[in-house]
Structure 1
Amino acid sequence: MAEQPKKRGVSGKLSPYAITKDRDDDFTFNVVYTANRSIQDICQLAANDKYSASELESVYRHLLDTAKEELYSGATVAFGFSNNSLGVTGLFIGPKASFDPARNAVELRCTPRVEFKKELQQIPVIVTGTEEGGPTLIRVTDVTTGSVNSTLTPGGGLNGESNRAKVAGPDESNGFRFVNADTEAVTEVPPTSVLRNDRSSFSLIVPALPEGKYYLEVTTQFIGGKNVFSKSPRTNRLPYALTVGTPDEGGDDIL
């Protein structure tokens, strides 16, 4: 019988829920992430006297290639934490219509496997404090590929969900930016490239970023009131590294 993983729990802070207008005592929970693990990291952590990290990674790559072959052939594949299948988006016009790349796209659909849904109910959640109304980036969708919290397309659109991430206030540091995950080089998003920016959602045009991995950050003094700003800017980073170019299979795999 397989050994059950340790459920150490997750911790995070409460953040005021800005959507509810008729009350001020409700909060959302923001997880404080402890690390960003790649496949190589997982193999290193799982290595033991029986299997080395390189052996585990080799087996994983072989399994991944097999899973891909089955998935791309139209099978539904249970792999990792999710059940995976392919779907096709967009409308087909007329009964004899064919696939049109300008209108249709193949997408990856993932749903949590049942056994993990059950385990999630047993994970302790620890509240470590309350955030004082700072911005929170929740998720982003690359408009070109349709991927969520995964890729970036330079020159393409990026739609995001957030809490209190409206860029406002007099400080010059306020705005969106991309930070290279390896070099920490910063690429600011020009205000003219921000197409929509509300407290709970935003849309922007991705700058001409070289291939690599990037974190999206926002800095703002917005606290919810009109022309009322925090004394100092507050910055929040989306916890997922976003890839420009071909995704690195050793990075944030979702299968």
Structure 2
Amino acid sequence: MSTINAIAHLNELTKEIENDYYLTAQVTATLGVDDIVARIAAREIATKNVDGTAFIKTFLDECARAAAEGNNIVTPFFRSSIGIQGSVLANDLGHNIPADRLKVSVNLTQGDGARRAIESCVIHAFEQSGATGPVIQSVTDPTENKPNHLNPGGMALISGMRLAVKGDDASVGILFTSEKDTSKTVFVAPKSLSPNSPTKLQFVLPAAVTEGKWYVRVTTQGGSNPGQLVKTPRSYDYPEIIKVGDVPGYERPGEL
């Protein structure tokens, strides 16, 4: 039986219930194609005459090509569907319309195999060490309130506990790191935050945080008590990937 480790955070936002916790999954690792091939080889399923990496890349590339031809894809791990946003004029009807005039996306949802695997696993919950540090509960655009999604140049709201960004250390602030290229980072300084409180950090998303997938980290020297500063900055890495703009896998309201 598989096990997912989850960090338990005391929920200080619910006043009617005491000692309740919310859970965030502790990511074991981020696996690429080569990692999955290694797992298959360990099960002695791969053969000497098959290049597993090339096969999986070819399979996924063919899925992308099929989706671009208007097909829905169904696999044990994911299901895909085509989403189209935007409007056309009457004189466009009956003619080919370039995709860049519209917002065309491939939307992914879990497949039956993934659902069954998750249903059969168990969750091992434990308290996060260093409970005096910041904890991110959610990242949203407050104008749409969709989890883990922001809009380029729009408002960003980080909610949680012990978030107040204070201190003089150069690392104090909010750091966005590109999931595609981890050398690309964007820093949001404390002066750009309003409100900058223990439960909410709100700011305008910098233009440098372009459309794509990003990691978010909050670093502060703020202590448990108001006005208290600690010598060593404490950071919290949000375990979810933030999608900025129209990214495959993000479904807007009304989409399948």
TM-score class, shorter = 0.5 to 0.7
Partner of 1:175: 173
Alpha-carbon distance, 1:29 to partner: 1.0
Contact (CA 8 Å) 2:76, 2:114: kept in 1 or not? Answer: no
Alignment of 1:38-49 (within 5 A): 38-47=32-41
Letter in 1 for 2:59: L
1:206-247, CA deviations, whole angstroms, 9 ceiling, x for partnerless residues?
46489x99643111356888x365746431113467899xx9
Residues 130, 195 of structure 1: CA spacing in aligned structure 2 closer, same or farther, 3 A cutoff?
closer
Q: 1:123 aligns with which of 99, 121, 124?
A: 121
**Distance (whole Å) between structure 2 residues aligned to residue 77 and residue 195 of structure 1:** 43
Q: Superposition RMSD on alpha carbons, in Å?
A: 4.6
The percentage of aligned residue pairs carrying the same residue is 22
Question: More deviation in 51-60 or 187-196?
Answer: 187-196
Partner of 2:67: 71
**Distance (whole Å) between structure 2 residues aligned to residue 195 and residue 121 of structure 1:** 41
2:37 counterpart of 1:34: no
Partner of 2:58: 62
What TM-score, normalized by structure 1, do the two folds share? 0.65
Aligned residues: 230
**Distance (whole Å) between structure 1 residues aligned to residue 195 and residue 74 of structure 2:** 38
Letter in 2 for 1:189: V
1:97-155, CA deviations, whole angstroms, 9 ceiling, x for partnerless residues?
7879899512222221123223212101112335536434466679xxxxx979x99x7
SS of the residue 1:128 aligns to: strand
Partner of 1:235: 235
**Distance (whole Å) between structure 1 residues aligned to residue 50 and residue 204 of structure 2:** 40
**Distance (whole Å) between structure 2 residues aligned to residue 95 and residue 201 of structure 1:** 45
Alpha-carbon distance, 1:192 to partner: 5.4
Contact (CA 8 Å) 2:2, 2:120: kept in 1 or not? Answer: no
Alignment of 1:1-255 (within 5 A): 7-47=1-41, 50-51=46-47, 55-79=51-75, 81-90=77-86, 92=87, 104-130=102-128, 132=131, 134-137=133-136, 156-157=153-154, 159=156, 162-164=159-161, 166-172=163-169, 173-179=171-177, 187-191=186-190, 194=193, 199=199, 202-206=202-206, 208=208, 215-220=215-220, 227=226, 231=230, 233-239=233-239
Contact (CA 8 Å) 1:15, 1:27: kept in 2 or not? Answer: yes
Residues 119, 138 of structure 1: CA spacing in aligned structure 2 closer, same or farther, 3 A cutoff?
same
What TM-score, normalized by structure 2, do the two folds share? 0.65
1:156-214, CA deviations, whole angstroms, 9 ceiling, x for partnerless residues?
4574654227433345443101457887786532345557767367554346489x996
SS of the residue 2:35 aligns to: helix
**Distance (whole Å) between structure 2 residues aligned to residue 176 and residue 42 of structure 1:** 32
1:41-79, CA deviations, whole angstroms, 9 ceiling, x for partnerless residues?
222332266435981111112211221121111111114
Residues 14, 75 of structure 1: CA spacing in aligned structure 2 closer, same or farther, 3 A cutoff?
same
- Return 5+ residue gaps in structure 1 as ranges: 1-6, 143-147, 248-255
- Return 5+ residue gaps in structure 2 as ranges: 142-146, 248-256
1:7-27, CA deviations, whole angstroms, 9 ceiling, x for partnerless residues?
430112210224323333211
